[in-house]
Amino acid sequence: MRHSEPATGRDAIVRAWQDARHADGAAAGDSADPTVTSRWNIPMLILGVLLAGWCLAKVLL
């Protein structure tokens, strides 16, 4: 008989992530789609580009 090994931190993280995906999919009614999607945060992206341009201008000028 094989004894179960104690769960490591990584195993707990993976289990929590999978539980969250299943809970989110069940709430949205889209549990058949296994893909993970992300959305761009456009205002923060614009702010980052402007900040990088400002820093570059300060260094070069």
d(CA 28, CA 30): 5
- pLDDT at position 46 over 90: yes
Q: Quick: pLDDT tens for 15-42.
A: 888 888 777 655 555 556 666 677 778 9
| Whole-angstrom distance, CA of residue 52 vs CA of residue 24 | 35
Residue with tokens 């009614």: 29
Would the pLDDT of 60 be above 80?
A: yes
Q: Distance (Å, rounded) from C-alpha 7 to C-alpha 10? A: 8
- Please tell me the predicted confidence (pLDDT) of residue 33: 64
Residue ranges of the domains in the chain? 1-34
Determine contact, residues 15/7, Cβ cutoff 8 Å.
yes
pTM metric for this prediction: 0.40
